[in-house]
Structure formats: structure tokens, C-alpha cells
Structure 1
Amino acid sequence: MEHYDAIVIGGGVIGTSIACHLARFGAKRTLLLERGQLGGGTTAQSSCILRTHYSVRENVVLAQAAMRAFDSFAGYLDDAEADCGYRRCGYLIVAPEGAAADAVRASLAIERELGIEARELDAAEARERHPLLRYDDVAVVGWEPGAGYADAYLTMTAFVRAARRAGAVVREGVEVTGLVRDAHGRVCGVETPQGAIGAGVVVSAQNIWSREVARWAGIALPLAMSRHSVMTLEAETPYGHDLPVVKDLVSPGRIYFRSYGGRQVLVSEGNEGVDIPEPDIEQADVPLDEVVHVGEQLMHRMPAFESAGLAASWTGVYDVTPDWNPVLGPVDGVPGLHLAYGFSGHGFKLSPIVGRLVAQAALGIEPDLPLAPYALARFAEHRLLTGRYGAGAVS
């Protein structure tokens, strides 16, 4: 039987980051197994927004560490070719008076306490940074100048290249069908149609397929799958890459949008989405009434796009936990198994630091940041990481 220091199941941006960090931390014989193509699952559907604005302090800490990695990506990976496509255009969040405005102000305060540049803008400053928006129904405008967006494919391929250079093996088209356990119940490998493969530790980064590892391990993993529609709208008005990412808490769907280049804007709602019973990454058509519904919200906030037309649309699926935050680290009662799932729509932006911390924990290295807040046990122990924004990917 083949044997590796570590096996990672799942070849999206989270799994490739974990494999990269495992190899770089000394597990030279790391094996990454992906059932399909690398990045062919939910990573390919990401909007790739990078920000530290969260109402959950632990998330701000993680996002801050991830942002540092994105900010010096080539140096972080010790790879002059590494490029994550990071565009620092800023993150502008608008909210109506009441609980939403209070949440924005509290979140900005958390960022500032941690040394992140973030503040409230007055009307003149807001118009200077984004002159295309209307602000007459807005009570507060939050601003994070260091935020922006990146490129999922570039990021993932950089992780893969760094992993391979550190000695990791990457295999596509290999489906894991079960876990191998020793006489003491410790996970010591995986089953595949081609045979069993041994490992010192197994890390599952299976995203919406995480119910599989729950079945293999005989554990309960809180997980729902939520489909979200994304579209690009094109108008006559140019919408350059220098314009900030916008989060609109005034709109019914709490839409977010960013430049997609030229005269196009990528836009989606930030609510709970539509639950689906089984994992599905097929690109379902976005119904016309939904395009109209989202488009009307964009046009309300940005009147220059009143005559915009649909350029493209697709759907993405989130792996959602009860508190809309991920599960990271070891599993009580299942030695040898570590998890990284449940990112609930904000996995891409956390991928560098999640890969680092999960790899450290899997190898018995004290993680740079505590993983205890993200433990699976928090659900049974009623320690949810509940944010002030409620359900949805803002957290």
C-alpha cells in the first residue's frame, strides 16, 4: 500500500492551500486527491472578494492574516511567479439607520482595534470614492481602503505549484470512497477505487461534499447547501477596476457588487440563498425574474446602470454551517482526521491562513492563531460564532 505523510481530500482553493502548507511545514510526502479537476467545484464560482470587514472578531483576525498573505503573495509563497490577481480598490459598505448601521460601526471599531485602516465616511468622502452611487437613503458608509478582490484560478494554481515544488503529489480524477482506520480507531489512510492509500493524517476539505466524510467517520456534521445566483450586468457607463467593492445593506437582498472590467459589474445577493438537498455544481440558468429582481436593486443604488443588460450569469453553492462560519481542525473522537469545511461563502478570502493553520494543527504544530473557536464541538456546546449581520456571508 502506498503511504504518505498526509492526504488532503479536495482540490479547491482551500484544499490546495492546505496541501501547500503541509508540504512547506515538512510533510514532504503530501498527497492531494481531487475527484474531478482542480478548482472545478465551488472555487470556480467564487466572486473572490477580499476584505477584513466582519462583525465576528475571530473572523477579522483570520481575514487580517489572510490579507497579509494576499498582499505579498509571491513573497509569502517564496515564488516570484505567484500572482493572486489582487486589485486593491477598497470596500464600501452602506447601511440604513438601525441595527444594520450599528453593526457596521461596531465592525469598523473591531477592525481599528486590530490595527486595520477602516472608518466611517461622510457624504462628500463617499461620493469622492464612488461617484456613481446614490446615498440619500443611507445612514452610514463604512470604508476599508485595503480591501478589493482577486482571482481564484491564479490563487489556486499558485498554491498547487508551491505544493509540488515542496514535494507534494497532486492527483486529479481520483475519488475517495472511505477512510482507513487502524486497530485503535485512528484514521490512517483513505479508500479509493484504485485501492487504499495510507497516511499519517487525513484532512478533508470537501466543501459541499463534506457529508461524505461524516458518513465515513460516523459523525454528525452540521451542513446545509445553499445555491446563490451571480450575474454580470453591462451598461454604457464605464465601471473601472479602481471603483470599490460595494456591499448594500439597504437593499432587500443585501447585494454586493464589484467591477468585472470594462462596463460590466458582477453582482449577487448576500442573503441565505436557496437550499438544495444534494451537492450540485452544475451551472443552472438564472431565471429572468431573478435577474430583474437583482438588477433593480443594483439600479436603485447606481442609477447609471438603469439601462444595463445581462452579460452573463451563473450559480454558486455555499457549504453552510448553522452560524455561517467554518469548521477547522481535529475531530473529537476521530484521531487522525482534520476538517476544513463550512465556509458559507467566505472561504476564498480566508484560504491562505486557513491552509496554514489547518496544516499546522494536522502536523502537531501549535497554530499561529487559535482554532478552538472554529471547532466542530462548538455546535453541541452552543458556542456559535454569531455575527451582528445575521444569516448570510457578511458575518
Structure 2
Amino acid sequence: MSETFDAIVIGGGVIGASTLFQLTALGCRKALLIERGEIAGGMTAHSSGIVRTHYSVPANVTIARASLGMFERFRDLCDGDPDADPGLVLSGYLIVAPPGPSSDAVRASIAMQRGLGVEAGLLDRKSALERHPWLALDDIDAIGFEAEAGVADPYLVTTSFLRNARRRGATVRTSTPVTGLLRQGSRITGVMTDKGPIEAGVVLSAVNVWSRIVASWAGINIPLTITAHHVFTLAADKPYGQELPVMKDLASPAKLYTRPMGGHLLVGGGHEGTLTDDPEMADLEPDHDAMIDEAAQAAARMPAFAEGRLARSWSGLYDTTPDWNPVLGPIPGMEGLHVAFGFSGHGFKMSPMIGRMLAQSMLGQPTDLPIRPYRITRYEEGEPLVGAYGTGAVS
């Protein structure tokens, strides 16, 4: 005899954890999260942990802004849990652009953010250097700054969500691979695991780069590719302090993003990455030539790293959609199945509110913010979420 739950979430990363937590907040206590490995052991473990609301797509700004508010009141969100600490450091977010289209995009995006109530604005070079004295800005035309931005800890956020979901009655199972979907006609009625079937009124697939596998069990194709991205940290002769802002460099060929990490400079590329077909990352090797080139680009912006030492490096995968924005919500014609995929590097910073929107959608409730812009049919309907920056990780 199979077990029965009201809702099942597949995937123990930050999106799945946030959704389970919000399901319980909405009264769905008989909810189950299933993770094939360990909690936060997939792409959440590779997140750079950046929190920002700077986007050129208005729908993204509203979700990111709401998520930031949830990060800021995280302990209260988690019912006063004294251990609920997201590791939030609001050091600000700088985005710099050379003359031309990218400068125009920064200015337009800042204006749009301000219209949505975000504390953001344009800085002159003197003011920018007061906030970030390590920078060389001679080639820069536009400098955007967002005060309420910074970094947080994906592992602490994920585990806090799950701990408090459990306290409300939810069940979390690790080391339990899902091997298929239970189906009656066009309705999904649960999941098959390596330990047997589990029935549910609604199922959410939140498995990041493994989403195509789950979709194939439902007999559907989804607009998803997998791209590999590397990240590394550099050490200078003096510590790179945590008070320094996160930065996005649109003037660099790789569209670099940087943040402080443990006294070092974390550097990642904002480019399209390298296509791969392997969600297990078995064929993913660090691109040392690319890292050397990007280290040189980082040093051009921050000359103190001209003799910087490589401290560590790692690689991760993005689940990437054609417009570099997520697909959220129900699958038309497949009742009982909801999806969350294609975060394209945005997942962590948007996870608190996206979890709530997904939980509301799964329970048939109106969502706090519009979920329709993220529907899976937007591509065939000619309504992709492409903003001033075009496709890519800035969005």
C-alpha cells in the first residue's frame, strides 16, 4: 500500500526547501520533500550567494525585492527560530558599464527600479570610489548602485526553511531517488521512488539541471539547456573586506561579477557559459585558460589583483532557458504537475518569494505576485522575458 501526501516537492535545493516551507505556512502540513542525495547538495551548493534586486525585467525586480524583505526578516519568517540566520550582509551592489548600449541599459534599469520603490541610483566616480576604493573606473560611463543588496548563505537558508517546515509537520526524506511519476491519464497522482510509490494531490519538480528527466516521465519536452560556469577566488596582499559591495562589470569581456568571500575576491563570468549534456557534471573540468583570462579582466578593474594568487576554484551548472529566466507553475494539459526550472543563476536571490508563489499555485490559490509571466507557454506565445540587457545572467 502506497503512502499518501497532499503535496510532494521533488528536490532538496533552496527552491524546493522554500516551497515546502511556504506550503506549511499556507496550512498544507501533510507535505513531503524528497531529495535523492543530501540537502543543498546540488546546484545550491555551488551558488555564489549574491542577493540583489537589480534586473531590467520588472517582474524579476518585484520578486527579488520581495525576497530581499524576507531575507531581512528571516528569523521572524521562520517563526522566531533563534537559529534561522541567513548570513545576510548588505554591502550594496555596484554595476558599471562603458559608454554605449550597456550604459543606456543601466540607466534605464535604475530608473525602472526606482519606479518600483527600490533604493537605487546612479553614482559619479568619486562617490563610487568612496564605496569601493579598489576600483579603476576611467573607462566607465554609468555606475549604478543599489544599497539594499549583498550576499547571504544558501546552505543556511535552505536548512532553515526545511527545519521550520518539519516543525510545522512536513516530512523531508533524503537519499531517496525519485524514479518516475504516477499517472492516471493526463493527471499526475504522485511519484515512484526506489522505495515504492507515494501518492499526492499535487507534485512540484524543482530539480534544476535534472528537470528534463522529470519532464520526460510526463512525456513533455521543456525549453532547457545546461550550461557550465566556473568561479574562482583571488587573494591580494591585503584582505578584500566583506564591507565591499558586490559588483557587476559590464565593461569586461566576460561580464564579470565579483563579491568578497573570506578575505578574497570571488570572480565569476556573466557570459553564456559552456553547453553540456551532463547534469551530473562528470565531464565538467575547470577551464584554466578562461580563468587566467578572467583573472586578468578582474585585475584590470581592481589593480591590486594584478599579482593576485588563485585561492580556489569550482564549477557549477545553470539550468538555462531561452530567455535566461525561470519557468514556474503548472504544466498545461498535465493536471497535478507543477515545475520550477530554468533559474539561469537567479534562483537563490529570488527563492523566498518564488517558494511562496509556487506553494500558492500548487494549492490553487492566487499568488502574491504574478506567476503568469513565467509560464512555460510564453515562448510559443512570443512573450519571452527579455529586458534591456538582452539574454544573459543580468536579465
How does the TM-score come out when normalised to structure 1? 0.98
- Counterpart in 1 of 2:141? 139
2:367 equivalent in structure 1 = 367
Q: 1:117 is matched with which residue? A: 119
Q: Which amino acid aligns with 1:113?
A: G
Q: Does structure 1 conserve the Cα–Cα contact (< 8 Å) formed by 2:96 and 2:143?
A: yes
Look up the equivalent residue of 1:288 and give its one-letter code.
H
Trace 1:148-163 onto structure 2 (pairs within 5 A): 148-163=150-165
1:373 to partner: Cα distance: 0.3
1:111 alignment partner AA = Q
Query: Could you list the per-position Cα deviations for residues 18-45 of structure 1 after superposition, in whole angstroms to 9, with x for gaps in the alignment?
Result: 1111122111111100011111100000
Unaligned runs of 5+ in 1: none
| Corresponding position of 2:187 | 186
User: In the TM superposition, what whole-angstrom CA distance separates every residue of 1:226-277 from its partner, at most 9, and x where no partner exists?
Assistant: 0000001111022110000010000000001010122x11101100000001
Counterpart of 2:244? Answer: 243
Find the counterpart in structure 2 of residue 331 from structure 1. Answer: 331
Report SS of the residue matched to 2:178. coil
Instruction: Mark the CA change 1:164 to 1:282 in structure 2 (over 3 Å): closer, same or farther.
Output: farther
Query: 1:1-395, aligned counterparts within 5 Å?
Result: 1-78=2-79, 79-182=81-184, 184-262=185-263, 264-281=264-281, 284-395=284-395
Task: Read off the aligned partner of 2:349 and give its amino acid letter.
Answer: K
Residue 136 of structure 1: SS of its match in structure 2? coil
Letter in 1 for 2:374: Y
Unaligned runs of 5+ in 2: none
User: Per-residue CA shift, 1:149-190, capped at 9, x if unaligned?
Assistant: 1011111111111110111110011111111123x5311111
Q: Secondary structure at the match of 2:359?
A: helix
The answer (yes or no) to whether the contact 1:271–1:391 under 8 Å persists in 2 is: no
Displacement after TM superposition at 1:291 (Å): 2.1
Task: Assess, with a 3 A threshold, how the Cα gap between structure 1 residues 283 and 339 changes in structure 2: closer, same or farther.
Answer: same
Take 1:47 and 1:392, find their aligned partners in 2: how far apart are those partners? 16
- Write the letter of the residue equivalent to 1:5: D
Q: SS at the partner of 2:313?
A: strand
> What RMSD over aligned residues (CA atoms) do the two structures have, in Å?
1.1
Tell me by how many angstroms 1:214 deviates: 1.3
Q: Aligned partner of 2:274: which letter?
A: V
Q: Which amino acid aligns with 1:376?
A: I
Pair 30,281 (structure 1): closer, same or farther in 2 beyond 3 Å: farther
Query: Residue 280 of structure 1: CA displacement?
Result: 2.4
TM superposition shift of 1:283: 9.3
Q: State the alpha-carbon separation in 1 of the partners of residues 314 and 285 from structure 2.
A: 7
Distance 2:88 2:340 in 1: 24
**Could you tell me how far 1:282 is from its partner in structure 2?**
5.3
Aligned partners of 2:340, 2:275: CA distance in 1, in Å?
A: 21
- CA distance in 2 between counterparts of 1:9 and 1:69 reads 23
Q: Which amino acid aligns with 1:139?
A: D
Task: Tell whether the 8 Å contact from 2:230 to 2:287 is kept in structure 1 after alignment.
Answer: no
Contact 2:189 2:201 in 1 (8 A): yes
Q: Which amino acid aligns with 1:258?
A: R
The structure-2 alpha-carbon separation of the partners of 1:349 and 1:282, relative to structure 1 and needing over 3 Å to count, comes to farther
Give yes or no for contact 1:237–1:305 (8 Å, CA) kept in 2. Answer: no
Q: Which piece of structure 1 moves more, 288-297 or 312-321?
A: 288-297
Q: Is this contact kept in 2: 1:14–1:355, CA < 8 A? A: yes
Residue identity opposite 2:44 in structure 1:
T
CA deviation map 1:120-156 (0-9, x unaligned):
0011101101111001000010000110010111111
| Partner SS state of residue 294, structure 1 | helix
* 1:318 counterpart letter in structure 2: Y
Q: TM-score of the superposition, structure 2-length normalised?
A: 0.98
Return the alpha-carbon distance in structure 2 between the equivalents of residues 277 and 209 of structure 1.
10
Paired AA for residue 334 in structure 1: M
How far does the alpha carbon of each residue in 1:89-127 deviate from its partner, in whole angstroms, 9 at most, with x for none?
000000011110011011101110011110000111011
Structure 1 residue 390 displacement after superposition: 2.2
How far apart are residue 304 of structure 1 and its match?
Answer: 0.9
Q: Secondary structure at the match of 2:64?
A: helix
Q: Give CA-to-partner distance per residue, 1:276-315, whole Å, 9 cap, x none.
A: 0121245944233222111000000000111101000000
Contact 1:258 1:265 in 2 (8 A): yes
Over the matched positions of the two proteins, sequence identity in percent amounts to 53
Partner Cα distance (1:339, 1:317) in 2: 18
Change in Cα spacing, 1:167 to 1:283, as seen in structure 2 (3 Å) is farther
Residue 195 of structure 1 and its aligned partner are, at CA, apart by 1.1
Q: Distance in 1 between matches of 2:330 and 2:83?
A: 33
Which amino acid in 2 is paired with 1:81?
D
